Amino acid sequence: MTQDLQRRGARWETDVNQIESPFKRHLLLCLMGTLILASCGGGDSVPPPPPPPVVVDASPPPEGVVTNDNYYFYFTASGGTGLVTWAVTSGALPGGLKLTPDGTLSGTPSVAGTFSFTVTATDSAQPAETGSHSFSVTINAPAPLLISPGQTPPDGVHDTPYELHGIFTFAATGGYLPLSWTVTAGTLPPGLRLNPDGSLTGTPTTASSTPFAFTVTVTDSRTPTPTTNSVAYAITISEPGPPTISNKPPPTATVGAPYSFQFYTSDGGLRPLVWTPPSAPMGGLAVSLDGLLSGTPATEGIFPITLTVKDALNQTSPAAPFTVRVALARPAAAFMATTGSMTVARDGHTATRLLDVDGRVLIAGGGLASAELYDPTSQMFTATTGSMTVARTGHSATLLENKTLPNYGKVLVTGGGSQTAELYDPAVGTFTATTGSMVAPHTGQSATLLQNGQVLIAGGETASAELFNPSTGTFTATGRMTVSRTGQTATLLPDGHVLIAGGVQDVGPGTVPIPLSPGVASAELYDPASGTFTVTGSMSEGRAGHTATLLDDGTILVTGTDNSAELFSPAGAGTFSVVGELSTGYRATATLRNDGTVLVAGGQAFSSLATAQLFAPESGGFVATGSLITARDGHTATRLADGTVLITGGTSHMRHCHRGGCSGSDTVLSSAELFK
């Protein structure tokens, strides 16, 4: 046959060579394939190599135990082509075990003995290659059934779930599975039960100074005669101690809206419980004898109360202080998408409302040198005439608002990984480097416009601080902070001082911050007159990536990075006091609105959050409001001239956890939305 093909190929080549067109002649010769391979520049045909043989790994399967359902073994092989499948080709597997095509030997052994068999692995080649190997598996009878020694079921408390601190389960070794458990003598404490799986659950209904004695028996599944083993135990049930009231604070109520909150005890006490209603006014709310705070409040305010509760044993709890907060009813507000999105996705950028009549917003950086403007009238974004001199992220942008000084209305951009600084001029839409660079590099610093028109640049992986002078366009050093901070907040107080709070404390270049998370609780004040920093009161907890917002009454609201918030009062010793709880996370935003409320939006707590709440200063608490369209953190929030809040960019962190672990995605956003 080969000689015949060679003769046909020679004849076809002769016919093709008579074609005048060299291109067509070469193409037809190539299409003849291996019969005229030389015409296409090839050589003699080479037969393909034979497929590699399939070799079964000789590692023996482990021994097993009758009725133990955790037998697993994986056969492996080397060589072969493509997918390898497995089968038993002689002998017999132990009863209860099976071999799946992927080579898994598993199941629940049902018979004791030694079993010999041969497994064969077959690859996907045509024709298929195979490899076989003989194995033997020993299945042993279970060890004698024995209740594990040394087990002591814990004592219980009257009217308290026995499994409150974890379910107690009797354990045994050996025996034919499954095992079953019963009480064969004595009595369990009333209200408790022994389940067939050996777990002891329930709620004791009777207390006794004399232990309840009983015998526990475990029985295996051996046929025809099961094996048993018994052990005696005793449990004492005592009366509970005095009740303790849970310190979970009630959420903020709203004037005119029905409200309900249940107070609870966290420990102790025998039901029924009777609560002592406070006599102090609560804006129209009341506490019932069963501890329910409810009603439709008519008056806003902050109402401190004290609660006690008495149990059935006439035991009274320690007094527990609470604050009932009632906020004013306000017009409904919601988030809506802007007409257009930003020209690029940004995170770690800045957003600064300019002084022009249009109230435009300058959005700059976020790992980029580019910048763009938001027009509130059209709700559209357009690129600025020029970009920044360098790409920046984690920088600061400060509007120069002192009319008596040069560069009025411009925006000072500093830091973000560069020692340079620049000014944005809204009149021409371009950035220009300042006359001088900063005294020291800053990343994650704070920038605060002082009452004299200068800008205080502080911290950012350093304790150093410096001042920008709009008149000269240069920077000069000022006093150093008491500690090195990164990611702190800096807020100008009505008296001209600057409150510096929290942040991550750095102890030197290249060192690990202290603490790693979330930050430090300390705070300090900068005095522009003396150019010095002095320590003031500390926050209730360490914070970094938090917010600080100056309220209309001169206090400062601090939120994040968890569900706590507090107020700093500049008067007197300058202290922080905890206010109502909120739902926020790391890298949220807080924006003072025209009505004096503060919009706290987004943040990250594992995943990014879409939640938003309003801080109502008259109640010192937070009330829910509409949710963000897109969950985000690391975004900006800017109050526009009409009181609307513009949200731009950030990152959407999505996290999902399942039995195999956690996965997720991180998407930097170009979208924007408005709260109005």
DSSP, residue by residue, 142-171: PPPPEEPTT--PPPEETTS-TTTT--EE--
Express each pLDDT in 390-421 by its tens digit.
999 989 999 999 999 999 999 999 998 789 99
Instruction: Pick the closest to residue 446 from 500, 373, 520, 372 (CA basis).
Output: 500
- Taking 90 as the threshold, does the pLDDT of residue 658 lie above it? no
Secondary structure of residue 13 in the 3-state scheme: helix
pLDDT band of 18, cuts 50, 70, 90: very low
What residues contact residue 263 under an 8 Å CB cut-off, 6+ apart?
245, 246, 250, 275, 287, 291, 292, 293, 307, 309, 322
Mean pLDDT of 327-336: 96
Structural domains in the chain, sorted by start: 2-40 (no CATH), 55-140 (2.60.40.10), 146-238 (2.60.40.10), 249-327 (2.60.40.10), 331-347+549-676 (2.120.10.80), 388-544 (2.120.10.80)
pLDDT of residue 40: 38
Tokens of 100: 């799946």
Q: For tokens 């608002």, what's the residue?
A: 401
Express each pLDDT in 48-69 by its tens digit.
777 889 999 999 999 999 999 9
Mean pLDDT of 313-321: 97
Instruction: Pick the closest to residue 468 from 498, 436, 499 (CA basis).
Output: 436
Task: Name the strand (E) or helix (H) holding 292.
Answer: strand 292-295
pLDDT of residue 584: 80
pLDDT band of 603, cuts 50, 70, 90: very high
pLDDT of residue 78: 95
270 vs 278: CA distance, rounded Å: 22
**Do the bridges between strand 208-219 and strand 228-238 make them parallel or antiparallel, or are there none, so unpaired?**
antiparallel
| Residue 152: cis peptide before it, omega within 30 degrees of 0 | no
599 vs 589: CA distance, rounded Å: 8
The mean predicted confidence, pLDDT, of the chain is 91
Tokens of 264: 């609870």
- Taking 50 as the threshold, does the pLDDT of residue 43 lie above it? no
pLDDT band of 295, cuts 50, 70, 90: very high
What residues contact residue 120 under an 8 Å CB cut-off, 6+ apart?
56, 86, 87, 88, 89, 130, 131, 132
- Taking 80 as the threshold, does the pLDDT of residue 467 lie above it? yes
Express each pLDDT in 156-207 by its tens digit.
999 999 998 899 999 999 999 999 999 999 999 999 999 999 999 999 999 9
- Taking 80 as the threshold, does the pLDDT of residue 23 lie above it? no
Q: For tokens 């739902």, what's the residue?
A: 583
DSSP calls for 481-508: PSSEEES-EEEE-TTS-EEEE--EEE-S
DSSP summary character for residue 659: T
